Structure 1
Amino acid sequence: MSLLTALGVEKRPSCNVSTTAVLVESQGCRSKDLVNITACSGACSTYTLYSAKMKALEHSCSCCQEVVTSERQIQLTCKDNTEITYTYIHIDTCGCLEVDCSPFAHSETTNTPSRMRSRRRRR
């Protein structure tokens, strides 16, 4: 059993394409039927663990986002019965992509030991 498995870190993230049916509106025109608009949703691996080799905390973050997209076109009907072509981005595939999750090491608001001095009352 690997250390990550022992820590409960998922090996297979559940990042998938989800769809929501909506009426698309643009420039005062709208779709006649509901359109399946896609999104990426689900969990991806994120963890922090101590690395004895680096003598520091190791961070790994990934987020669920689009990997493959395509353009789709639909017709929108306007109030004067004219139609316009509307182009939108359709998500074909989602995946867990690594992102930077390094700590705020250089932030002035970080609580370091030198900043966390206890106060003692004088008697």
Structure 2
Amino acid sequence: LEKNITCLHVNDCTSIEDVEVTSCTGHCDTKSMRSMYMNDLMHSCSCCQEEKFTLRLMTLKCTNSSETLLNYKYIESCSCTPIKSVPAARRRSSPFD
């Protein structure tokens, strides 16, 4: 989990105060292995993404001097989420193969 403090811009509006934003970063397991059943390579991948988040409220000041409220997702925790294994795409040297 990575945290940053920044000023957010949405359309013509800017956050009045700096906002703490979070993001998921990190390496997850990936592998390619031969499938004896499909006679092809199978890829197994995991994606680092949000596991839990809360909605937070921030106030934006717009160029027309109005103020607006906006909800944003604050990531509380991340996890490696498996992506279904799929066969590798077969490359062909000619469209007539």
Q: Which is higher, the Rg of structure 1 or of structure 2? A: 1
Distance 1:110 1:76, change over 3 A: same
- 1:21 CA displacement: 1.9
Instruction: Tell me the secondary structure at the aligned position of residue 43 of structure 1.
Output: coil
Which structure would you say has the larger RCO, counting Cα contacts within 8 Å and 6 or more residues apart?
Answer: 2
Which letter maps to 2:22? T
Q: Alignment length, in residue pairs?
A: 93
Q: How far, CA to CA, are the matches of 2:38 and 2:64 in structure 1?
A: 69
Greater strand fraction, Structure 1 or Structure 2: 2
String of CA shifts for 1:11-38, please: whole Å, max 9, x gaps.
Answer: xxxxxx1122221122422112221111
Aligned to 2:81: 97
Q: 1:87 aligned to 62, 71, 75, which one? A: 71
Q: Which runs of 4+ in 1 moved over 6 A?
A: none
TM-score (norm 1): 0.60
- Aligned residue among 46, 52, 58 for 1:62: 46
Query: Identity over the aligned pairs, expressed in percent?
Result: 30
Unpaired segments ≥5 residues, structure 2: none
- How far the C-alpha of 1:40 sits from its partner, in A, is 0.5
Is 1:72–2:49 an aligned residue pair? no
Q: Does 2:34 correspond to 1:42?
A: no
Contact between 1:104 and 1:110, CA under 8 Å: does it hold in 2? no
- CA-based RMSD of the aligned residues comes to 2.6
Q: Give 5+ residue unaligned stretches, structure 1.
A: 1-16, 116-123
Q: TM-score, normalised by structure 2?
A: 0.73
